[in-house]
Amino acid sequence: MNTLTPRATGAVTTRVLTQLRRDHRTLAMLLVLPCALMSLLWWMFDGLPGEGFSTLGPALLALIPFIIMFLVTSVTTLRERTSGTLERLLAMPMGKLDFLLGYAIAFGLIAAVQSALAVGVCVWLLDLSIVGSVWMLMVVAVVDAVLGTALGLFVSAFARTEFQAVQFMPALVIPQILLCGLFVPRDALPRVLEVISDVLPLSYAVDAMQTVASSSETGEVWQDIAVLAAYVVAGLALGALTLRRQTD
Amino acid sequence: MMKNAIKVRTLEVTRGGSEVLRGLEFEVAHGQVTGLLGPSGCGKTTLMRALVGVQRITGGSVEVLGQPAGSASLRDRIGYVTQQPSVYDDLTVTENLRFFARILGVGDKRVAECVGLVALGDYGDRVVSRLSGGQRSRVSLAVALLGEPQLLVLDEPTVGLDPVLRVELWETFHHLAGEGAAVLVSSHVMDEASRCDRLLMMREGRLIADDTPTGLLERTGSHDIEQAFLSVVHEKEAA
């Protein structure tokens, strides 16, 4: 039932990218906004003593692709559910995983370009100091974006309207931002919150970014990436469960 | 001898606590255009969804092309057009068809054929959101024709189309039926009924008539299908 056919997966990816290419405004926002936000962060700390930008910058590089892809995906897939195209696809010889992976690959590619631009601006224009490799920073950013996509695909099943879909952002994303270690170091949180932050994927994303920024050690980063990848797989699997060929 | 394309037995569907389909029984033959007539809200769409296999059913059985409805092996043998055109607004006509063609494993030649079948040859590169409502539903119809389906289920495909095009589409339906496909077309416009080989009339989740258009007119002594529908309803209520 959930067989994968590269032809169908590729068809979905190509289609999603064609749709985005046609939507110039969304495309521009996807590519320009992260750079603009990073520049804003840099500007805030310009002239202040200390390394504010270099401390917060890596965490923000993890958050932005996650948030943007979460929103974009939950709204796009919801649109697919309400317009009837999803039902039509599921009545065709289309694997559920083909559908999900097709989306994940398309948005993963967009995220790669998005992150490359944002990381490029940070490192070469805004002098973000990175001890580890710039490539590693990009790998983490892309995995974050795919994670946002996977969760977005999943939650879109629980929204009936685009208004509802957008509400999942404060419900599911903001708590993760609060608990990811950006405001209070995670090991200084009350015990219960620390445990909760241990099971939230964004904590691992921010950890990975901060490790890349502060050391050239890659072992820990790969561990974080592995955890993130597991969340991506789980998100896609849960997403597949929400794609029903038969409904009431 | 060819088996019937659709075989429905004591089909029941309950949605949100109310009975939408109440024990339907009928068969639909290959090579014919069968009309599904009834007022809006009588359960036509739910029935069509059950045939295509996307509607969860509460009781009875639905067999399509010899398989239980919804079987994986049916997915490339049925064409289904919903009332609301299920295509991507932000893609062109050709892009839409190419996408669904790749899912079905159908080549570009068939894409061009289907664009021609629904008379959208001049609009291939037009983005769907810039087409008229009628043109959009034709794009949706073209998608359903891509896989040369043996069963075509069309939910009100001619709403809002100009009369000339409507006649052309009915010719297309008969042409497909002539090639052996079973075509089931729903409509709440009774005057379209005379174009069908056979009619199924529905009211409040039940089948109230199953006949040829002429058979129905003769039996009820009516001049048109609308009058025939009314007299069948009265007949049932009197019984």
Tell me the shortest Cα–Cα distance from B204 to chain A, in angstroms: 18
pLDDT tens column, A27-38: 998 999 999 999
C-beta atoms of A22 and B72 within 8 A: no
Alpha helices in chain A (DSSP H): 6-22, 24-45, 52-82, 85-90, 96-120, 134-155, 162-168, 174-179, 191-199, 201-214, 219-242
Rounded to an integer, the average pLDDT of B123-136 is 92
- Reply yes or no on whether the pLDDT at A201 is more than 90: yes
pLDDT exceeding 90 applies to what percent of chain A? 43
What is residue B127's predicted lDDT score, i.e. its pLDDT?
96
pLDDT at B1: 43
pLDDT of residue B235: 86
Token reading at B57: 């059913």
**A60-108 pLDDT per residue, tens:** 988 988 999 899 888 888 889 888 899 899 889 888 889 989 998 998 8
- Asked whether residue B188 carries a pLDDT value surpassing 90, the answer given is no
Chain A contact for B15 (CB, 8 A cutoff): yes
pLDDT in tens, A137-189: 889 988 998 999 899 988 888 888 888 888 888 888 999 999 998 889 999 99
d(CA A178, CA A166): 18
Shortest CA distance to B23 belongs to which of B186, B209, B206, B208?
A: B206
pLDDT at A3: 64
Pick from A3-7, A78-82, B109-113: least confident = A3-7
Does pLDDT of A14 surpass 80? yes
Give chain A positions within 8 Å (CB) of B75: 91-94
Name every chain B residue with its beta carbon within 8 A of the beta carbon of A101.
none
A1 confidence band (pLDDT: 50, 70, 90): very low
B34-53 pLDDT, tens digit each: 999 988 889 999 999 999 99
Question: Given pLDDT bands bounded at 50, 70 and 90, which one contains residue B8?
Answer: very high
CA atoms of B152 and A99, how far apart (whole Å): 24
pLDDT for residue B13 is more than 90 = yes
ipTM associated with this complex? 0.87
Higher-confidence residue: B46 or A2? B46
Inspect the interface and report whether the beta carbons of B76 and A23 lie closer than 8 Å: no
**Is the minimum CB–CB distance between B103 and chain A shorter than 8 Å?**
yes
- pLDDT at residue B168, rounded to an integer: 84
Q: What is the mean pLDDT of residues B180-203?
A: 89
What rounded mean pLDDT belongs to chain B?
91
Q: How many CB pairs under 8 A join A and B?
A: 78
A214 vs A219: CA distance, rounded Å: 13
Nearest-Å Rg of the Cα atoms of chain B is: 18
Q: Cβ of B54 and A22 within 8 Å?
A: no
Segment among A84-88, A242-246, B91-95 with least mean pLDDT: A242-246
The alpha carbon of residue B188 is apart from the nearest alpha carbon of chain A, in Å, by: 21
Tell me what pLDDT residue B2 has: 58
CB contacts, 8 Å: B127 with chain A:
22
Q: CA-CA distance, B236 to B216, in Å (whole number)?
A: 14
Q: Do A11 and B16 touch (CB under 8 A)?
A: no
Q: What is the mean pLDDT of residues A23-48?
A: 91
Residues facing B206 on adjacent strands: B203
Weakest-pLDDT range from A237-246, B43-52, B92-101: A237-246
Per-residue H/E/C for A64-107? HHHHHHHHHHHHHHHHHHHCCHHHHHHCCCCCHHHHHHHHHHHH
Residue B89 at interface with chain A, using a CB cutoff of 8 Å: yes
